Amino acid sequence: MWKENADVSTELTPSTLATYKEAVFEFTENAQKFIECIPLLTKSRDAYQQAMRASTELRSVLDVGDETLLTLMGQLEQAVKGHLEEAARDRKKPEPVKVRAIKAEGGSAHAVNELP
């Protein structure tokens, strides 16, 4: 992972030591801030898992509700259909219409009179 560089001299310069100290300080500071965030990550993961469990439960409740609604709608459709069929059977059949021709004054039989 680390490559050795043959071109680097073994002498320490003041700028090298300053760069090292600055990098170590920045690493330490950022690592501490990150470690402080770990509880937030854990809380976020727990809240996510809780939301997923609730979502699954909600889907189950909605699915059962949908099935219940479909069943009730089917029953309602059957009841309405049965009621309409029964009402159609109970209706009176229309009486035949009696038709007779009436001759107009001119002797033509074009007018029709309906009697119940």
Contact in structure between 102 and 112 (CB atoms under 8 Å)? yes
66 domain-assigned: yes
Domain that holds residue 83: 14-115
Q: How many domains does the chain have?
A: 1
DSSP track, 6-51: TTS-S---HHHHHHHHHHHHHHHHHHHHHHHHHHHHHHHHHHHHHH
pLDDT at 11: 76
3 domain-assigned: no
Contacts of 111 (CB under 8 A, 6+ apart): 101, 102, 104
31 domain-assigned: yes
Per-residue model confidence as pLDDT tens digits over 77-115: 999 998 888 877 877 666 777 777 776 666 555 555 555
Considering the entire predicted model, what is its pTM?
0.47
Per-residue model confidence as pLDDT tens digits over 47-62: 999 999 999 999 999 9
What residue type is assigned to position 14 of the chain? P
1 domain-assigned: no
8 domain-assigned: no
